[in-house]
Structure formats: C-alpha cells, structure tokens
Amino acid sequence: MVSLADLDREKEVMTWCPGCGNFTILSALKKALVSLKVEPHNAVVVAGIGCSGHLPNWINIYGFGGLHGRTLPVASAIKLSNHKLTVIAQGGDGDGYSIGIGHFIHTARRNIDITYITHNNQIYGLTTGQTSPTSPRGTVTKFTPFGSLEDPLNPIALAITSGATFVARGFAGDLEQLTKLFQQAISHNGFALVDVLQPCVTFNRTNTFQWFRERVYKLDDGYDPTDKVAAYRKALEWGDRIPTGVFYRVKRRTYSEGLPQISKTPLVKQRIGNVDIVKLVKQFM
C-alpha cells in the first residue's frame, strides 16, 4: 500500500517562495497518486524550466528535467517507450504556452496518454516577473512599464480545439478540488490537461489568491462535459466569474492504441538478439 510518506522528499531544501501555489500542486499530486495506488516505481514526472521545474526534486517517483518548452515531447517518448507507466508532464505557463505551444497542440491532437499539469501564474516567476502568454492585456511589469499590448492566450479553449480528450482547470487555493481533478486526469485514457490557477506571491500582485477566491466557482453537476459547444462557452468565461472543474471529457483512441508493435509488450521490454551490423556499416565506409 502506497502512503504519502512513500512519496515524501520534502526534507530536501525547497526553493519556492513561502505561500507559493506550487506547494498545493505538489500536495495534490501526491494525494492523487496515493488515492489511485500508483506505485512510485511505476510513475514518472517530467518537468520543464522555471519554478515548477523543481517539483520532481520533492516527490519520490522517477523524474526528468527537460529543456525549456520541451516537456511534452520528452513525456511522449517515455510513454511510448513504456506505455504501462503513469506519465505526468508539468510546467509553467511560460514554459508550456510560449516556447512549448507547438508541442502542446500536437500532443493534444495525437491524444498521447499522459497528464499535463500547468502551473499558470500568468507571469514568468523564476526570471523575475516578465509577462507570459497568459498575462492579461495591460499587465505592468518592469519589462512592460506601459502595460502589455497582447491579449492573453486561452489554454482551455486551445486544448479543446487541439483535440485534448480531458480538459480541466483547478485553483491552487482549493486542495480538495485540485486533488480530485488530478485523480480524474491521471485515470483518464488519453491526453489530459489540468490548467492550475497558481498565484505567484512574489511577482504577480494582481492575480492573487484573494483575487481568484472572489471569482472562481465550480462547474455544477448539471454541466455536461461531453458537450463540446458548452465547453467552448465555459472556456471563454473569464472576468468577474471564472469556472473551474472538468470542462471537456470524451473517449477517443490513444496514440499508443494505434501501435500494434506495443499492444502486448512495452517497447522497453522488447529485445532483439545479437545483430551483426558489420555489413551494414561497410556500405557507408
């Protein structure tokens, strides 16, 4: 039986700012894995660059630190190499929705069976507060002293458009809901996005915990997450009221399920006997 203690590595030095929403994401992920009885040796978390990139240091499962924006291709490769693993990719809004946006779209449309958690604080935190792709128009920083001229990217709408089969939003101020969303995303067979509203307490003084608490609400039991049109409508809702929960969830064949080569045995466990490549090499000499 897996316990939270089995996943605990928080005795290591932690570099997140006190009060950072990343702490809730880490706690929710641990609780979700324990509730699903995922053994540590059967799970891997892939991180990108930024404050969120430190998360693998503090959870006792396999971890991989990728390049900036390359979290999803690394996670995809791990999943295709051993599709029996529980694979979780996670990174910030700057990492995933800027330099990594192309990978985001194509991983979603391929329906790779991985969970993608984004730490969406609407700012670049590690590099001291530049605007990110999700920063609201008019955001004033030391890099945009007259306010950002760009409209923010909508990750929920983009995920639905790109073909993601599970699209959700959580709030780092609600550990219970976030844990349940992670449970559902990890259990989902296909590409699952959980975009987490994760306030940066150091560099984003506008979209604070209090700001979100005054606006977020949960999609109720009457909402149908299989209705794509309704999901789009909810995805566009932002301002005085911000919906959280599962926006969209459907079943579709995953990328791995279309590969007969790995239908019975994971690629990592397939072996070929000794192969003599001398003749092949000589052709190129």
Instruction: Please provide the average confidence, as pLDDT, over all residues in the chain.
Output: 93
Among candidate residues 38, 185, 173, 159, the one with its CA nearest the CA of residue 107: 159
Residue for token digits 């064949």? 253
State the pLDDT at residue 41. 94
152-181: pLDDT as tens digits: 999 999 999 999 999 999 999 999 999 999
Judged against a pLDDT cut of 80, whether residue 27 lies above it is answered with yes
Q: Contact at 8 Å (CB) between 43 and 61?
A: yes
Mean pLDDT of 134-158: 93
Query: Residue 221: pLDDT band by 50, 70, 90 thresholds?
Result: confident
Q: Please tell me the total count of domains within the chain.
A: 1
Mean pLDDT of 17-34: 95
Residues constituting the chain:
285
Looking at 57-174, list the stretches that DSSP marks H as alpha helix, in order from N- to C-terminal side: 71-81, 93-94, 101-110, 155-162
Burial of 60 (0-12, 13-18, 19+ CB in 10 A): middle
Please measure the distance between the N-terminal and C-terminal CA atoms of the chain and give it in whole angstroms.
56
CA dihedral 20, 22, 28, 34 (to 10 degrees): -130
Query: Residue 68: pLDDT band by 50, 70, 90 thresholds?
Result: confident
Among candidate residues 158, 160, 162, 179, the one with its CA nearest the CA of residue 170: 179
Looking at the chain, list the stretches that DSSP marks H as alpha helix, in order from N- to C-terminal side: 4-7, 22-35, 71-81, 93-94, 101-110, 155-162, 175-187, 209-213, 228-235, 278-282
Judged against a pLDDT cut of 70, whether residue 12 lies above it is answered with no
CATH number of residue 239's parent domain: 3.40.50.970
Residue for token digits 């109720």? 220
Domain range for 121 is: 4-282
pTM above 0.75, yes or no: yes
Fill in the DSSP letter of residue 184. Answer: H
180-218: pLDDT as tens digits: 999 999 999 999 999 999 999 999 989 999 999 999 999
Instruction: Write down the number of H helices and E strands in the chain.
Output: 10, 8
257-281: pLDDT as tens digits: 999 988 888 998 887 777 788 888 8
State the pLDDT at residue 274. 75
Residue of 32 and 283 predicted with greater confidence = 32
Among candidate residues 32, 42, 45, 44, the one with its CA nearest the CA of residue 4: 32
238-250: pLDDT as tens digits: 999 999 999 999 9
Biggest CA–CA distance in the chain, Å, is 70
State the pLDDT at residue 10. 63
Judged against a pLDDT cut of 80, whether residue 48 lies above it is answered with yes
